[in-house]
Structure 1
Amino acid sequence: MDQRFWRALGRWGQPYLFILPGFLIYLVFVLIPIISTVRYSFFDWTGFSEATFIGFDNYIELANDRDFWRAIGNNAFFVVFYTIIPIIFALFLTSLMTRGKLRGMAFFRTGLFIPQVMSMVVVGIIWRWLFTIDGPINQLLTLVGLESWVRPWLGDFTFARYAVGAVGSWVQYGLAMVLFLAGIQAIDEELYDAAKVFGANALQQFRYVTLPGLRQQIIVAFVLTFIAALRVFDLVFVLTRGGPGKETWVTSYMVYEETFRFNRAGYGAAIAVTMALVIVTVSAVVFWVQSRDDRNA
């Protein structure tokens, strides 16, 4: 009896033993921190002192915090640069590199994906140098006779958000482009041949063949880049520290400031939980719409 029990346990339990180390790592470094963050969002806690339960007070304060809504507005602004512009640009490049039969596609594919695999701290340092008052960008403007455009881009109240957003676009389009390049390889070439037979031009082929064929990849790219726009921290931290003023103030940087500068870890946790709920909700809606359309197709 005992031998049969241990043999059965070994036979059925062996697969779980293989995944146990990975699950323990996930539990310690992901699940427990998430649960702790949600818990502390209901407490007044400095991060060091004894936590005091205050219910929904942090969330009520958050709903009336002008800085939080300003940060939300900046995150929404960065969605344009992190999501919309990279996807449109990547679609154009993908079509050019495949349908246009551009030579050296492997070289371009590798080069355009480099920003995605670089450390964001390194990216931020490089672009901070490029944007300095005597940096290459302003030198180029002076060289072509556009001295009136020379300015401290990251310190300008009008252009700081656009400068940070442009860096975000440069980073994110590589991800979208690689997804689209992989997806376009799966589109049957006969569809393009049939479109040509019926007299479709390049734009019509793109609209009626390429875009429908890349629908899944576009949705994945949208979700990933949208999450990146709402989570942006490292570029803002390195480039502007939320400035000038609070022109580039975003929610992730606000979590950092409230938690580590003002010692309000409970309030910072409430901000983090709120943004996590926004991300989960938007992602769920996007995938629900996708699955509904797939069922109706």
Structure 2
Amino acid sequence: MRGGRRRPAPDRRRPASGRRLSPYGFLAPAFVLYAAFLLYPILRAVQLSLYRWDGLSLGVWVGLDNYRAVLADERLRAAFGHALVLIVFYAVIPLAIGLVLAAILNRARVRGLGFFRTVVFLPQVVAMVVVAVAWRQIYAPNGSLNTALRAVGLDALTRAWLGDYTFALPAVGFVGTWVSMGLVTVLLLAGMARIPGELYEAARLDGAGAVREFFAITLPAVRGEIAVALTLTIIAALKTFDLVYMTTNGGPGTSTTVPSYEVYRNAFERGQVGLAAAIGITLTVVIFLINLVVNKVGDRTS
């Protein structure tokens, strides 16, 4: 107003009523969605795991018997063991290859790096069912892999890869390596791009070579990206289902069965929904514990 004091600017943090907005007002809708789509299904699965139920008739309370069956059944124990083996193919090998590949590309400053990132990331975009069908054809007795081995005179190495008790699980795991390697490499390249170039210049002035630069500068700088990559790939390894289902169906015998496949088999083929729920909850706990260790180690070393 003219001739008077200026009116103070309104506090935008307060609503028209004059009350300060609580941060819980913003969190409540998100928590409701989180509880409805994540917490409730998990609690429901826990409830089902305490019953013997075929999905149709009335369930019978059995307490922890389904969890005892998970620990006692040799097939189910083997399934969890196979999942741990797949961690090596999905997480450890892609991380080792990705670190070397990303370090070389970052050091060489290759042209067209954006195009390369797109190409190596493509396996993440393609549906796993399509990937599984393609690799099933590659591994077939008359597929591309055996044809290539015969062409170079290595006929003794040819075999029905997905039907071999010894090589079926590594063959499935190699597909996981192919899928995960691009994701890991892109994550590591993004982390290495943030490293100041002055650090490398100072190291070179001190006489450091490429290997010393990698262990002294590059590796410590991308520990956060390594933790993220391990978290994503370990989860993918432990919960893999479609790849196994489309390539081996858990065979030959039980040599490639995994927990997620056992959940499907017990729930939809054997009518043991309670046991399937117990396997799923056990798998969830294993995934949580392994990734908790990975993140704790990552936080401690960063």
TM (norm. structure 1) is 0.90
Q: 2:263 aligns with which of 255, 267, 291?
A: 255
Deviation at 1:16, TM superposition (A): 4.9
Shift of 1:289: 3.1
Q: 2:90 matched to 1:82?
A: yes
Offset at 1:15? 9.1
Matched, 1:282 2:290: yes
- Structure with bigger gyration radius: 2
Q: What are the Cα deviations for residues 148-173 of structure 1, in whole angstroms up to 9, with x where unaligned?
A: 22211111112111110100000011
Going from structure 1 to structure 2, the CA distance change for 1:11 and 1:260 (only over 3 Å counts) comes to farther
Query: Which sections of structure 2, spanning at least 5 residues, go unmatched?
Result: 1-14
Q: What is the CA–CA distance in structure 2 between the aligned matches of 1:156 and 1:192, rounded to whole Å?
A: 48
Task: Please name the residue that 1:34 is paired with.
Answer: 42
Q: Does 1:69 align with 2:77?
A: yes
- 1:219 paired residue among 205, 223, 227: 227
Aligned partner letter, 1:290: G
Where 2:108 maps in the other structure, the secondary structure is coil
| Matched residue type, 2:55 | G
Deviation at 1:10, TM superposition (A): 10
Structure 2 equivalent of residue 206 of structure 1: 214
- Deviations along 1:251-284, one digit per CA (max 9) or x if unpaired, are 1111111111100010011011011111111222
Equivalent residues of 2:230, 2:294 under 8 A apart: no
In the alignment, the residues of structure 1 paired with residue 34 and residue 300 of structure 2 have an alpha-carbon distance, to the nearest angstrom, of: 32
Which amino acid in structure 2 is aligned with residue 39 of structure 1?
Q
Which residue matches 2:188? 180
CA distance in 2, matches of 1:177, 1:95: 9
Aligned residue pair count: 288
Higher helix share: 1
RMSD over equivalenced CA pairs, Å: 2.2
- The TM-score, its normalising length taken from structure 2, stands at 0.89
Q: Which residue identity is paired with 1:48?
A: L
Q: Please list the CA deviations of residues 120-160 of structure 1 after superposition, one character each: whole Å capped at 9, or x if unmatched.
A: 11110111111111111111111111112221111111211
- Distance in 2 (CA, whole Å) between partners of 1:88 and 1:185 is 18
For 1:128 and 1:106, the matched residues in 2 are separated by: 30
The sequence identity of aligned pairs, in percent, is: 42
- One-letter code aligned to 2:88: V
- Find the counterpart in structure 2 of residue 3 from structure 1: none
Q: Any conservation in 2 of the 1:96–1:102 contact (CA below 8 Å)?
A: no
Aligned residues of 1:82 and 1:165 also touching (Cα < 8 A): yes
Distance 1:7 1:15 in 2: 19
Change (3 A) 1:271 1:172: same
Given that residues 46 and 281 in structure 2 are in contact (C-alpha distance below 8 angstroms), is that contact kept between their aligned partners in structure 1? yes
CA offsets 1:192-234 (integer angstroms, 9 cap, x no match): 1111011111111111111011111111111111111111111
Aligned counterpart, 1:49 = 57
Q: Which runs of 5+ in 1 are unaligned?
A: 1-5
Residue of 120, 128, 137 corresponding to 2:136: 128
Distance 1:244 1:217, change over 3 A: same
CA distance in 2, matches of 1:147, 1:291: 49
Partner in structure 2 of residue 97 of structure 1: 105
CA distance in structure 2 between the partners assigned to 1:65 and 1:17 by the alignment? 47
The superposition leaves residues 171-195 of structure 1 with CA deviations (integer Å, 9 ceiling, x where unpaired) of 0111111110110011111111111
SS at match of 1:99: helix
Counterpart code for 2:76 = F
